Amino acid sequence: NTADYVYPKDWNNLIENKDTLILDVRNKFEYEVGTFKNSMNPKIKNFSEFKMFVDRKLKKQVNKKIAMFCTGGIRCEKASSYMLSKGFKNLFQLRGGILKYLKEIPIKKSKWRGECFVFDNRVSVKNELANGSYELCYGCRMPLKKKDCKSDKYEKGVSCPKCFRQLSNDKKKRLRE
């Protein structure tokens, strides 16, 4: 058993159905950078916490139609496999993930809100895979909005408002070097 794949061109129809639970299987910070409108945030720090999220928060949704998505599709494969083993039946996953959706769906038809965090030097991308506006903090490895970079706690390559107080002076010194 596997989840049904939904191609980007058919995704909007699925997620516009009010009976569909839209599930973002990515980490909390990725969700905050951008997601589909009305999607559920599992509020996990890393993907290894996803099973616990399913067991605690979704067990009553076992018969619900669930549309899940992630950046490129790999986490959805793992998530749907686990959920199917737990008795979920109506699972759908976005084929090719958010990146394929952003590449193929014109901005005027897009249901995506914000940007998509990516694990490379671009940090984030927008519709049509245009470079996003986020930077990466080297102190905590978290994505930064432009307003974060204007903070007096931001030092390029060293710290940001999210990690300024957690980093030791020695660590900041090493990052400056």
Which residues are part of the catalytic machinery? 70
Beta strand pairing status for 91-94 and 20-24? unpaired
| DSSP element (H, E) containing 114 | strand 112-114
**Torsion sign (Cα): 34, 35, 36, 40:** negative
**Residue type, position 6, single letter:** V
Phi/psi for 67 (5° steps) reads -105, 115
CA gap 133, 125 in Å, rounded: 8
